[in-house]
Structure 1
Amino acid sequence: MPVKDVAKIAYAYMDARMGARIDYDTRCPTHALLNVPIYGSHMPPTLGTGGYDGSMLNGLNILPSYTDYFHLNPATTGLNTASVFIGGFLGPLVTGVLTDRIGRRLTIFWGSVVTLGGVILQTAAQNIAMFVIARIFLGFGAAVSGIASGVYLAETFPSRWRAWGVGLLNDFYYVGALIAAGITLGTGEWQSTWAWRAPSLFQGIFSLLCILVIPFIPESPRWLVHEGFYDSARTVVAQTNANGDLNHPISLIVYKEIVDTLEWEKKEGRTMSPKEIVKTPTARKRLLIGSSAGPFSCIAGNIIASYYLGDELDTAGITSSIQQLKANVVLNVWCLFCALLGTHLAANWGRKPTALLSQGLLIACLFIIGGLSKVYADDPNGASKSLIYGDVAVMFLFQGFYSIAWTPLLYLYPPEVMNYSIRANGVAFSQLTLNGLALALVFVMPIGINNIGWRMYMINGGWDIVTFFLIWYYWVETKGKTLEEIDAIFDGEKHSAVPDVENVRAGSVTIDQNAIEDELREEKITSKTE
């Protein structure tokens, strides 16, 4: 059965659950108008899985019941931990095409199903091979649902709330991380394998929540327009921009921008092929700038504390497993606060300035941590309490400063920079590079810390200096613009004649709604006859 026929059946089922009338001639649900805007609030659980995973592995790598059960050494510790990134590397290879073919929300659904299966297998693991295979499935599903979620939220949220809407997707990482830190602290003294199996089992709650909510939310309006589902697309735009008012000037302008821009892309011969991301100089520029968020966030240095907090605290002289588990809880509270602060800055100050601020603070922290860790390593027995606590304090500051920019921007910036024809595949490419680097770094990090200790911080600091200047020179600002208005930055022009949304919202520009409605009717008729 063709993939689109499968999608048709699945959407018919989902829309029937939503109480919608199905128009089988157009394969499109005509959604009942809602009285409240739909902001895709179901999406954060997809990234809660990733945050839970990082914090859980932090806790498990501290627990003797876990390390002794698998008889772990530095190499197998890295393998157990990094195997999730094998799946995370494989997931993006298919997610872009799948997201464009069957739709954003159905891709999220199936990604969550695979993730849930991986969680169950991980909980039941009897040996390293079984644990690693489970985490590959888990990473694959999480990557699929995470990429599709980022694209979905960027395409569905109104421009004025997009930073919060998409930023919270990854901010929820620390909600999952905080839950995992609390659970591993609670099970840390259990004298059985359930000390690590119970935290693993709870990881599935985020995917389960996503599966339950998905049938009750609409599809991305951009995907609906591209597939010819104009009435449903306009309804979703009205729901998210004007409390369901189809005739509101803002919802009309946003919808007209989408229709005009996607029609322009079709006339220009833009396809949904993965090759489109490198087909033209503009596409390559968008890809390099947009996808840089993935690798930049990965090499910033946070992987040390994200997965090997115990080893990091060991270098600072804090070796008690219970104290390390408590530190894991405090760390995630602090990072959640900083991520929310960063989302506020990205929304009000801008994406680029927020990234530069965060990156500058990371550079300073890494060199301070490296210096303090060196002093401790030279004379661990003679190290003062102030030195140890100072080192830990800067480690915590570092993780918070990382969260200011990279937590919200990782899923916010790539879909903003990329136009519709390359958006899903471009975001998938960003995650592919991120997971490829993470796979290598998470595997080698415990070996590196064991062999060269404090020098790992200095290496990361050098990388961050290079990253700072790349952001400063190449990144563009996307704050306050719709996805279609960002085209003017790269293409030199906006592909719709209607004024910018914020100008209409501010009242500085007026529109002729009747004329726009006439144009939309003509475009709809033309599209159906082609």
Structure 2
Amino acid sequence: MAQNIKPVKPPKGHFFLAGRTFPRVQWWKRPNMRLLYFYIAVLIATNTANGFDNSMMNGLQTLSYWQDYFNHPQGPTLGLFNCVMSVGALTGLVILPFMLDRLGRKPCLVFGSMFMLLGVALQSGSINFSMFVAARYILGFGDIIVICTAPMLITEIAPAQDRAILVTIAGATYHAGAFIAAWTTYGTLKIQSEWSWRAPSLIQGLFTILMLAVVWWIPESPRYYISKDQPEKGLQILAYYHAEGNEADEVVQLEFTEITTAIAMEKNSEHSSSYVDFLRTPGNRKRLLIIASFGLFAQWSGNGLVSYYLNLIMDSIGITDANQQLLINGALTSFNLVTNVFFSFFVDNWGRRPIMIVSSAGMLVSFVIWTALSAKYDAHASSSLGSGVLGMIFIYYLFYNLKSGLIASYTTEILPYSMRAKGYTIMEFAMYIALFFNQYVNPIALDNIHWRYYIFYCCFLALEVVVIWFFYVETRYVPLEEITKLFDGDDVAAATNVEMEKALESGKGFTTAVHIEGAD
């Protein structure tokens, strides 16, 4: 049976690995580790392109030159401008897990980046509605491949001591892109030509160019090499970046033995890795429930109203000046960036499950108040009520930002290697189904039923709190390869520990771990 194990905090300045405690390494004093953290920083920055796009589309809708050029799109037409990117993303998700498992993480980053640059070029040079829509489809196709691959690679190359924080920051940098885009569109408001909306599209490509310039030197996932029967390469990467090349380092040997044992145990299973695996065991069914619901919660918590249609909300409370709307957009993205990065450093101290419960409950309360104030404004059109709605949007995002960085880190850590690519794809598929709904339906609903549409999100937030409370599992302080015991129980954990002990006692490290009987 799977367990809910109370997490034990390691002593200050230490971390857990394979049931043992090790002192944290000062990575800035080790040249190879400094280099690894630079590579991880580049991977973290990939999510800025996604955040840039969302905020940019918010900003473009306030620019008169964009509105005039595309004949003031509204309702379904405006929804199509935004949702077509999600259609491209859903297309990319169909092929992504097979590419990840067969080609590795780095080729997927390059492949996705090339499509992103093509989409940016077409979007910046669009001469009509059809070209702009096609560009956004291509951009969505490439973007989803990159933003799914990067957090997985970070998870699989990061040292155990900082993995959770680094992957959580990767999720939070969405708001770094939104911050840059918000102030970029505010600045280009002063440009009296079509370049007021073409320039932000071009700037969007800078993040992708940076990643393409560095990706050739970023190490491939050691877990990928080990899964492809190239354990020597996996060990070399772990030793070079985690222990300055010392393959005999105790932490490296434990990391390597855990990885090889876990992958060998997965190969020993009676079936090959497939989507059907998520239905085979109670532990995997629970994983499926968590990742699919987390994807829906990421976009159906009400945030989709603000992410793409803040200008419509501002119009509904009497704030119609383009300059003022762009200032509010910039202030909100600045607030989101600071709070997201700040909260990322507390994922281990506060725990995943408590963060998600407090976040969802706080969003529910603030959204109910937001809805009530909007209803009052609709009846009385008071400027103080409009200011109240604006204030509740900031409070709502304070709670949303508490957990938004966990989308990447929590999803990747609860999935074993053989299911990670497919599981992350399921989460993103659920997220983009919800995002497609948001982008297409939201402007239509806001046009027709106004504040009453908010009631749907109030109800969904209540459901979100219930699901997290009863089904989500705490994983803090548990090393990546050991999280399986929280879902699959002591039998699997015990079997893994036995094989690890055999590997360690043999003195042969990876050779024993990989050649478990039946793994071939």
- What are the Cα deviations for residues 414-452 of structure 1, in whole angstroms up to 9, with x where unaligned? 111111111101101110111111111211111111111
Q: Distance in 2 between matches of 1:204 and 1:454?
A: 36
CA 1:472–1:426: 2 relative to 1, 3 Å: same
Kindly indicate whether the alpha-carbon contact (under 8 Å) linking 1:89 and 1:140 is maintained by their aligned counterparts in 2.
yes
Kindly indicate whether the alpha-carbon contact (under 8 Å) linking 1:257 and 1:498 is maintained by their aligned counterparts in 2.
no
Does residue 425 of structure 1 match 2:422?
Answer: yes
Per-residue deviation at 1:298?
A: 1.0
1:488 to 485, 493, 509: 485
Alignment of 1:167-206 (within 5 A): 167-206=168-207
CA 1:514–1:441: 2 relative to 1, 3 Å: closer
Q: Match of 2:186, as an amino acid?
A: L
Does residue 520 of structure 1 match 2:510?
Answer: yes
- What are the Cα deviations for residues 386-410 of structure 1, in whole angstroms up to 9, with x where unaligned? 322222111122123212102x111
- What are the Cα deviations for residues 334-378 of structure 1, in whole angstroms up to 9, with x where unaligned? 001121233123232111111111111100111111111111111
CA 1:66–1:516: 2 relative to 1, 3 Å: farther
Per-residue deviation at 1:104?
A: 0.9
Does residue 404 of structure 1 match 2:414?
Answer: no
Aligned to 2:326: 325
Alignment of 1:93-492 (within 5 A): 93-380=94-381, 383=382, 385-406=383-404, 408-492=405-489
Question: Aligned with 1:318: secondary structure?
Answer: coil
Aligned to 1:43: 43
Q: Distance in 2 between matches of 1:161 and 1:378?
A: 51
Kindly indicate whether the alpha-carbon contact (under 8 Å) linking 2:319 and 2:325 is maintained by their aligned counterparts in 1.
yes
Q: Distance in 2 between matches of 1:346 and 1:214?
A: 28
RMSD of aligned C-alpha atoms? Answer: 2.2
Per-residue deviation at 1:332?
A: 0.7
Kindly indicate whether the alpha-carbon contact (under 8 Å) linking 2:257 and 2:503 is maintained by their aligned counterparts in 1.
no
Question: Aligned with 1:41: secondary structure?
Answer: helix
Per-residue deviation at 1:379?
A: 2.1
Kindly indicate whether the alpha-carbon contact (under 8 Å) linking 1:160 and 1:480 is maintained by their aligned counterparts in 2.
no
CA 1:418–1:528: 2 relative to 1, 3 Å: closer
Kindly indicate whether the alpha-carbon contact (under 8 Å) linking 2:257 and 2:504 is maintained by their aligned counterparts in 1.
no
Question: Aligned with 1:269: secondary structure?
Answer: coil
Q: Distance in 2 between matches of 1:342 and 1:240?
A: 27
Aligned to 2:12: none
Provide the identity percentage.
Answer: 32
Q: Distance in 2 between matches of 1:37 and 1:497?
A: 32
Question: Aligned with 1:418: secondary structure?
Answer: coil
Q: Distance in 2 between matches of 1:171 and 1:484?
A: 24
TM-score by length of 1: 0.87
Q: Distance in 2 between matches of 1:514 and 1:529?
A: 18
CA 1:479–1:244: 2 relative to 1, 3 Å: farther
CA 1:528–1:229: 2 relative to 1, 3 Å: farther
Q: Distance in 2 between matches of 1:232 and 1:290?
A: 31
Q: Distance in 2 between matches of 1:69 and 1:514?
A: 67
Q: Distance in 1 between matches of 2:47 and 2:506?
A: 39
Q: Distance in 1 between matches of 2:519 and 2:53?
A: 50
CA 1:136–1:182: 2 relative to 1, 3 Å: same
Kindly indicate whether the alpha-carbon contact (under 8 Å) linking 2:189 and 2:196 is maintained by their aligned counterparts in 1.
yes
Q: Distance in 1 between matches of 2:159 and 2:80?
A: 41
Question: Aligned with 1:497: secondary structure?
Answer: helix
Q: Distance in 2 between matches of 1:280 and 1:213?
A: 41
Q: Distance in 2 between matches of 1:387 and 1:82?
A: 31
Per-residue deviation at 1:514?
A: 6.6
Kindly indicate whether the alpha-carbon contact (under 8 Å) linking 1:84 and 1:137 is maintained by their aligned counterparts in 2.
yes
Q: Which has the higher contact order (CA 8 A, sep 6+)?
A: 2
CA 1:74–1:212: 2 relative to 1, 3 Å: same
Q: Distance in 2 between matches of 1:512 and 1:444?
A: 57
Q: Distance in 2 between matches of 1:277 and 1:54?
A: 32
Q: Distance in 2 between matches of 1:125 and 1:489?
A: 51
Aligned to 1:70: 70
Q: Distance in 2 between matches of 1:263 and 1:313?
A: 55
Per-residue deviation at 1:235?
A: 2.3
Per-residue deviation at 1:78?
A: 1.0
Kindly indicate whether the alpha-carbon contact (under 8 Å) linking 1:112 and 1:145 is maintained by their aligned counterparts in 2.
yes
Q: Distance in 1 between matches of 2:515 and 2:150?
A: 32
Q: Match of 1:429, as an amino acid?
A: I
Which segment drifts farther, 481-490 or 491-500?
491-500
Q: Distance in 2 between matches of 1:73 and 1:522?
A: 63
Q: Distance in 2 between matches of 1:35 and 1:457?
A: 47
Per-residue deviation at 1:528?
A: 12
Kindly indicate whether the alpha-carbon contact (under 8 Å) linking 1:157 and 1:240 is maintained by their aligned counterparts in 2.
no
TM-score by length of 2: 0.88
Q: Match of 2:444, as an amino acid?
A: I
Q: How many residues end up aligned between the 2 structures?
A: 484
Per-residue deviation at 1:525?
A: 6.2
Long gaps (5+) in structure 1 = 1-32, 501-510
